[in-house]
Amino acid sequence: MKEKLVDLFEYTHHFNKEMIRVISENIAKADEKTISLINHTLNAQQIWNARILGEPAFGVWQINPFETLEDINHQNFLKSKDIVQNLDWDQRIEYQNSRGMKFENSIFEMLFHAVNHSTYHRGQINSLLKQSGIEPVLTDYIFYKR
């Protein structure tokens, strides 16, 4: 099962990287919402990792220098992979959301949410790319596995 969850994070890492590449190659056409969403996608994975590990977290909607996005994506992947391989997925973690509300979820629930959340926002980004005249990236999991 660990290999399956690592595979989902490899998929997430791969297509986040592709989205960053396409946006970078078309930066003059990319609108503010596209830049905001790719940052949010990466920030969210960093935040979930940080909650699990008890580390400082990014702001949910912070805008990072564009040239740092590939490194953030890679660091997110390494941390998520380390969590998958070394922590007890059933362990429950207490955390506060960005509004200060307290919650508790299992590590597995948090990890699965991070993958699902990234997939959702890549779909939104693809819609924005298409509206800007940029060829969207085929990011379905099945395309990754082919």
Binding residues: 40, 117, 121
CATH of the domain at 12: 1.20.120
Binding site listing for a divalent metal cation: 40, 117, 121
Kindly state the average pLDDT of the residues 47-59.
Answer: 98
What pTM did the predictor assign? 0.96
Domain of residue 33: give its range: 2-54+66-145
Q: Is residue 48 part of a domain?
A: yes
Phi-psi region of 100 (alpha: psi -120 to 50; beta: other; left: phi over 0): left
Say what the pLDDT of residue 85 is.
98
| 61 lies in some domain | no
Q: What is the pLDDT of the chain when averaged over all its residues?
A: 97
Q: Identify the band that residue 3 occupies on the pLDDT scale cut at 50, 70 and 90.
A: very high
For 30, phi and psi rounded to 5 degrees? -70, 130
Condensed to tens digits (0 to 9), the pLDDT of residues 58-90 reads 999 999 999 999 999 999 999 999 999 999 999
